Amino acid sequence: MFKPAVLFLTVFASLAAQVAVAKAPTEKITDPAKITRAYVESFGDVREWVDMTPMGNDERRCIFNSLQRMNTMVNYYLRGASTTNISFLRKDQEALTFNLTAEQPPIGAEKNKVRGFWISIRCADQVRNMESWKTVMSWVPVFEALVQNTESQLGYTFSHVEITPQGGNMLWWKDKKGNLVILR
C-alpha cells in the first residue's frame, strides 16, 4: 500500500544528505603549494559536510570525530603559521591517518618510528564500509596538504611519530638544516 508520508520522508532525507555533502568544496587540492587561505575558507563548517541524522551512535561517533578534527584543523590553519599551530595541525592529521588506516605503519627499520597518531576511538568495519565514511576519509590527503603547507611556511617538514617507552606518541619534524626537532 502506498504511504505518502513515508515517501515524503524518504525523499526529504535523501535531499538533506545531498545538500549536506554539497557544502564541501568540489575540488580536492592535494598539492601543498596550491593550498590557499581562500580555498580553506571555502570549507565552511566541515562538521556539516555529512548528514548525521540517519546514523546510529557508533557511526555518528566515528564520523563526527573525524569531521570535528578536520574543522579544528581549518581553524588552526586560518590562525596562521606558528609552531604551536603546526603541532596541533600535525597531531590531528596523524590521528586522521590512524583513523583511516587503523594502524601505525613503521617508517624504515625502526618499529618505534611510525606514521599515525594512536587515538582511542576505533571505528568498526561496518562504519568503514559506509559511503559517508568513505566521503570523509577521501579528504584526508587534502588535509595532509594543508598541514604540509603550514609546516613549509616556517621551514619544517614532518619526520615521524615516535612511540615512547611509556606507549605515548611524540611528533618529530626536521628543520631547515635537517635537525630533528619537537614543536610546541
For residue 140, pLDDT over 60 is answered with: yes
pLDDT of 10: 43
Contact 143, 63 (CB under 8 A): no
Distance, CA of 57 to CA of 70 (rounded, Å): 20
Per-residue confidence (pLDDT) for residue 56, from 0 to 100:
86
Q: How many helices (H) and strands (E) does the chain have?
A: 7, 5
Specify whether the CB–CB gap between 44 and 71 falls below 8 A. no
Q: List, for residues 77-136, the tens digit of each pLDDT value.
A: 999 999 999 999 999 999 998 888 888 889 989 889 999 888 877 788 888 888 889 999
Residue 70 and residue 96 in contact, taking contact as beta carbons nearer than 8 Å: yes
Instruction: Give the per-residue pLDDT at 3.
Output: 54
C-alpha cell at 67: 569531521
Work out the angle between the directed axes of helices 57-79 and 140-153 (0-180°, nearest 10): 20
pTM for this structure? 0.84
What total number of domains does the chain contain? 1
With bands split at pLDDT 50, 70 and 90, how would you rate the model's confidence at 23? confident
Question: In whole angstroms, what is the distance from residue 164 CA to residue 2 CA?
Answer: 62
The pLDDT score that the predictor gives to residue 144 is 97
> What is the spatial distance between Cα 149 and Cα 23, in angstroms, rounded to a whole number?
23
Residue 60 reports pLDDT greater than 60: yes
Tell me what the mean pLDDT of segment 69-80 comes to.
97
Read off φ and ψ for residue 181, nearest 5 degrees: -140, 160
- Please state the rounded mean pLDDT for residues 153-180: 94
The residue range of the domain holding 132 is 4-181
Note whether 105 and 179 are within 8 A (CB).
Answer: no
- 42 within 8 A of 23, measured Cβ to Cβ: no
Distance between CA 98 and CA 115 in Å, rounded?
Answer: 8
